Amino acid sequence: MISQSDRERELYQSRLKMRRDMNAVRDEGRAEGRAEERRAFIRSLQAALHEDAMSMEQLEAFSLPELESLMGRLQAELNVKLSNRS
C-alpha cells in the first residue's frame, strides 16, 4: 500500500514535471516567433538593398544566432548605403 506522503510526493513531482514541460513548450514557441520575425526582417533588408532575397526555406536552415548575425550585417550595409546618399 502506498502511504499518503508517497502519493503526495508523486503528485507533486508530476505537477512539477508538467509545469517544466509547459514552460519548455512556451519557450520554444517564443524562440520560433523571434526567428520568424528575423527571417521576415532579413528579407525586407535584402529587398531594400536590392539583393536577391533568400527563400524562407533557406532562412529556416539558420539558427537564431545566425539569423541575428545576418540581420546585423544587412542593417550595417543599409546604414552605409543610406549615409552615402547624403
Number of domains in the chain: 1
Q: What is the DSSP letter of 86?
A: -
Residue-wise pLDDT tens digits, 2-23: 567 888 888 889 889 989 988 8
Question: Is the predicted pLDDT of residue 1 greater than 80, yes or no?
Answer: no
Length of the chain: 86
pLDDT band at 38 (very low <50, low <70, confident <90, very high): very high
pTM comes to 0.70
Phi first, then psi, for residue 51 (nearest 5°) are -100, 155
Dihedral angle, C-alpha 27, 33, 35, 39, nearest 10 °: 180
Q: Note down the domain range covering 40.
A: 4-85
pLDDT band at 25 (very low <50, low <70, confident <90, very high): confident
* 18 compared with 73, residue with greater pLDDT: 73
What percentage of residues in the chain have a pLDDT greater than 70? 95
